[in-house]
């Protein structure tokens, strides 16, 4: 290709991509600001209570039979206000129901009540609810005199004595424009508070988990970013949106390459008091100064968009174990006597054909950061202590959590135990397992096959958190280092954000100078044509 042809291609391509690059660079510049302009919450964790065995007056089996439940997916213990409940996941749906450990009575709309209770803890640090009276009278002594714990709990949650009122509560089983797929966790509840900032808290009741918070400022920034950076206004095209993005970002990469070639193949004129030449020189030297970062942004953006054609299917991988009521004879006192340590929660899991009680011990350390405005992406949780007790013979499974992680990973991958080359418990977002995956703690289980498949599994929920292999790792590394400037991690988040914003602004300046150059060139050409 001749030099003149190279120049023409560079000029035309640059004009075509000018607006797209401006949109990407402007929204990229604003992105780090979005992480600082976010709602203030009191905490992102629900402090765990040790299960009070004395509060259990009705066994799990009795409560299930009382409510005509012959089979279920899982159970947990939750405390709402003063009272403990069995949280039961039904087989026929994703719904969670709550049965009182006192009398087995079902808490009406229990999942919605618990979602509101959690949301208020996350937002306000557990503002005082409507005060209830603890139930001390044993069931056998005077059943008629016992206060209805379900009614008292409902009243306490719905009649909070402090903090903002709850305006609405909505269950979400699919992602939408407000709660996007990047949040990963489903199903969740959206709890909207009646405040000036229109704050909404999203919670996952099955794991007592804070999922997301958005107020009107964050919603505005998010809308701005998705329209300008992700081009969601083209969603009606389906994968056509990705094809359009690939075209423009690919053209930007080629235009940059041709511009670099022109810089080293030509010389700049030195004509004093010539406005056009001065503008051309400004464009020439500003472009070569930031050329490396232009290539970095465009290449990693193209590579990332290319990977979007493969759907994220991690939500399809989870434990499908079910349990028959007649097979479960949970005696909490016996388990407590066996463990001899405070128990934070208890669930059921299946490893092959064996049923185990998955017993999470109460941590002596705070579960992650709990300062009001800490970033979740910097979260570091303590190593959990989890025991697995066989439901039949009460034997303790050695390295039970690791064994369960292996079982889940082998089930999801279709691999064998012999194919596992390493396993590691992950308690912090870092490296290939970043904040985008949302779940902690998880087990990293690696295989020697299929491009070194690595499965991250969350044993507390029995779900797949992420699947990474050599192919996806290359793309993720490219995006993190070249697009999000994680090569600056050694200097801290503030410096990394500054780097991203500085070079994004440089792209804006480059495009503006280029457009000025095109305008002046066309102006002179028109003047000459008239002459």
Quick one: pLDDT at residue 465? Answer: 97
Residue range 258-269: mean pLDDT, rounded: 84
What's the CA gap between 79 and 63, in Å, rounded? 16
What's the CA gap between 426 and 462, in Å, rounded? 15
pLDDT band at 473 (very low <50, low <70, confident <90, very high): very high
Q: How far is CA 59 from the centre of its chain?
A: 36
Please tell me the least confidently modeled range out of 126-135, 393-402, 428-437, 510-519: 126-135
Q: Around Cβ 179, how many Cβ atoms within 10 Å?
A: 20
Residue 26 has pLDDT above 50, yes or no: yes
**How many Å is the Cα radius of gyration of the chain?**
29
Residue 138 has pLDDT above 60, yes or no: no
Q: Around Cβ 25, how many Cβ atoms within 10 Å?
A: 23
Q: What is the per-residue pLDDT across 397-430, written as a single tens digit (0 to 9) for each?
A: 999 999 999 999 999 999 999 999 999 999 999 8
Quick one: pLDDT at residue 137? Answer: 40
Quick one: pLDDT at residue 299? Answer: 96
CB 65 within 8 A of CB 379: no
pLDDT band at 377 (very low <50, low <70, confident <90, very high): low
CB 195 within 8 A of CB 124: no
Quick one: pLDDT at residue 272? Answer: 60
pTM: 0.89
Structure tokens at 296: 């970095």
Residue range 98-120: mean pLDDT, rounded: 96
What's the CA gap between 73 and 51, in Å, rounded? 21
Residue 274 has pLDDT above 80, yes or no: no
Sheet holding 71-80, edge to edge: 96-100, 83-90, 71-80, 323-324
pLDDT band at 135 (very low <50, low <70, confident <90, very high): very low
Quick one: pLDDT at residue 270? Answer: 63
Structure tokens at 229: 């950076």
Average pLDDT, the chain: 88
Please tell me the least confidently modeled range out of 73-87, 137-151, 387-401, 506-520: 137-151
Structure tokens at 440: 């902690």
Quick one: pLDDT at residue 268? Answer: 66
């Amino acid at each position: 290709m001749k030099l003149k042809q190279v120049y023409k291609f560079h000029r035309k391509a640059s004009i075509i991509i000018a607006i797209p690059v401006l949109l990407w660079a402007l929204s990229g510049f604003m992105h780090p600001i979005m992480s600082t302009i976010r709602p203030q919450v009191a905490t992102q964790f629900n402090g765990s209570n040790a299960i009070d065995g004395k509060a259990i007056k009705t066994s799990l089996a009795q409560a299930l039979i009382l409510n005509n439940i012959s089979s279920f997916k899982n159970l947990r213990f939750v405390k709402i206000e003063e009272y403990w409940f069995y949280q039961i996941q039904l087989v026929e749906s994703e719904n969670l129901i709550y049965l009182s450990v006192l009398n087995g009575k079902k808490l009406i709309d229990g999942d919605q009540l618990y979602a509101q209770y959690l949301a208020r803890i996350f937002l306000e640090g557990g503002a005082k609810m409507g005060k209830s009276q603890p139930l001390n009278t044993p069931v056998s002594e005077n059943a008629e005199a016992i206060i209805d714990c379900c009614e008292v709990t409902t009243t306490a949650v719905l009649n909070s004595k402090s903090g903002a009122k709850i305006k609405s509560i909505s269950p979400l089983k699919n992602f939408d424009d407000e709660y996007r797929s990047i949040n990963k966790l489903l199903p969740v509840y959206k709890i909207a508070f009646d405040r000036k900032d229109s704050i909404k808290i999203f919670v996952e009741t099955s794991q007592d988990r804070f999922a997301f918070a958005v107020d009107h400022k964050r919603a505005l920034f998010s809308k701005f970013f998705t329209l300008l950076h992700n081009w969601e206004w083209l969603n009606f095209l389906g994968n056509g949106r990705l094809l359009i993005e690939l075209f423009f970002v690919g053209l930007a990469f080629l235009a940059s390459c041709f511009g670099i070639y022109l810089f080293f193949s030509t010389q700049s004129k030195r004509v004093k008091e010539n406005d056009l030449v001065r503008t051309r020189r400004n464009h020439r030297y500003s472009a070569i100064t930031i050329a490396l970062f232009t290539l970095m942004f465009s290449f990693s953006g193209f590579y990332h968009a290319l990977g979007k054609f493969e759907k994220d299917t991690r939500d399809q991988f989870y434990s499908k174990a079910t349990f028959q009521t007649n097979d479960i004879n949970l005696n909490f006192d016996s388990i407590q006597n066996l463990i001899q340590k405070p128990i934070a929660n208890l669930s059921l899991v299946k490893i092959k054909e064996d049923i185990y009680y998955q017993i999470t011990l109460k941590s002596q350390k705070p579960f992650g950061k709990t300062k009001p405005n800490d970033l979740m992406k910097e979260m570091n949780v303590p190593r959990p202590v989890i025991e697995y007790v066989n439901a039949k013979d009460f034997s303790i499974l050695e390295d039970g959590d690791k064994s369960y992680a292996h079982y889940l990973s082998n089930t999801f991958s279709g691999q064998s135990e012999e194919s596992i080359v390493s396993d590691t418990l992950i308690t912090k977002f870092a490296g290939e397992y970043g904040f985008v995956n949302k779940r902690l703690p998880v087990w990293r289980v690696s295989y020697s096959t299929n491009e070194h498949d690595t499965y991250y599994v969350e044993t507390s929920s029995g779900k797949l958190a992420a699947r990474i292999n050599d192919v996806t790792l290359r793309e993720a590394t490219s995006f993190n280092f070249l697009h999000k400037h994680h090569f600056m991690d050694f200097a801290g988040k503030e410096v990394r954000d500054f780097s991203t914003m500085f070079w994004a602004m440089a792209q804006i300046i480059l495009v503006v100078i280029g457009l000025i150059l095109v305008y002046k060139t066309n102006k002179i050409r028109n003047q000459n044509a008239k002459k």
